[in-house]
Structure 1
Amino acid sequence: MIRYALHCAAGHDFESWFASGSAFDDLKARGLVACAVCGGTEVEKALMAPSVAVKEEARPLAQPRSEVEEAMAAMRREIEAKSEYVGMNFATEARRIHAGDAPERAIYGEAKLDEARKLLEDGVPVAPLPFLPARKTN
């Protein structure tokens, strides 16, 4: 996985994770990389400093968060509160819901890139989330 700092034509800065650098290039070429703020697809990589591990005691107690970070955190809370996490069964469960074989409800989870691509090709309405599930972030 690789994280890129991105910048859209409307001036919004945001970050997103990709399976690889070539995965980003492929998704961008197909118009599937969109601004997390406005949805615009004119997105470019921005200059990004490397991530350096910092001991917890060295972090400031209250780091200021940007407007985008606050919006992303709010979106995550909303999704986690109103959706069911189905883990690695996401593709199977999304397909079952789409076919009417499972109760219709909001779900989120994990899928391999080829599984997600197949869902989209088959008309199953799915979208990538701009965050990793909690179990992946620890």
Structure 2
Amino acid sequence: MKVLDLQCAHQHRFEGWFGSEDDFQSQLGRGLVECPMCGDTHISKMLSAPRLNLGAVQPAVADAPAAPTEPSRVPATATAAPADPDMQAAWMKMVRHVIANTEDVGSQFAEEARKIHYGERKERNIRGEATAEETEALLDEGIDVLPLPIPAALKRPLQ
């Protein structure tokens, strides 16, 4: 089993497990490897140290200075989710909370939000899909909505 440190084009770092290097390259070539934060399929392999299980052997002590414990920080860009690992964890926690406490109305989001706003439907927390134009129209009508990109991995059950 190969455990690889991966990163998408938006600087989100994550770990991937593959049967072999060939398995990773095959899945990458078919577009099957995607960022769990934003769904990006432009993935690159990061440098990582192999994990060697040497039993009870004690590691050698080196005189060299210790490697930095935190990854180098990359300037933030316009992404679907934060690149900072602590911010990613907080963002994912928030997304999971939204999913657990809302009803998915799918592509009927704009229509359903209007019906709730105008009292035609019972008030409840909903989520769904809306175009940028639909979202802007809802905001212009005074209907509070928050665009929240939800990673594809959270939209389906895990194996």
Give the TM-score normalised by structure 2.
0.45
**Mapping for residues 81-96 of structure 1, pairs under 5 Å:** 81-96=100-115
Find out whether 1:52 has 2:43 as its counterpart.
yes
What are the ranges of 5 or more consecutive residues in structure 2 without an aligned counterpart? 1-8, 12-36, 46-50, 52-70, 72-83
**Residue 117 of structure 2 aligns with which residue?**
98
Percent identical pairs in the alignment equals 36
Equivalents in 2 of 1:119, 1:128: separation in Å?
11
Match of residue 109 from structure 1: 128
> Could you report, residue by residue, the CA deviation over 1:89-129 in whole angstroms, capped at 9, with x for unpaired residues?
00000000000111101111100111111000111111111
Runs of at least 4 residues off by over 6 Å:
none
Give deviations 1:18-76, integer Å, cap 9, x for gaps: xxxxxxxxxxxxxxxxxxxxxxxxxxxxxxxx93267xxxxx9xxx9811111011001
1: distance between equivalents of 2:129 and 2:114? 13
Matched, 1:74 2:93: yes
Match of 1:129 among 122, 143, 148: 148
1:132–1:113 CA distance, 2 compared to 1 (3 A): farther
Residues 52 and 4 of structure 1, relative CA distance in 2, 3 Å threshold:
closer
Residues 94, 132 of structure 1: CA spacing in aligned structure 2 closer, same or farther, 3 A cutoff? Answer: farther
SS of 1:131's partner is coil
Q: Relative to structure 1, is the Cα distance of residues 67 and 126 closer, same or farther in structure 2, using a 3 angstrom cutoff?
A: same
Distance in 1 between residues matched to 2:92 and 2:155, nearest whole Å: 16
CA distance in 2, matches of 1:74, 1:124: 25
Larger Cα-atom Rg = 2
| Structure with a larger share of its residues in helix | 1
> How far apart, CA to CA, are the structure 2 residues paired with 1:4 and 1:117?
25
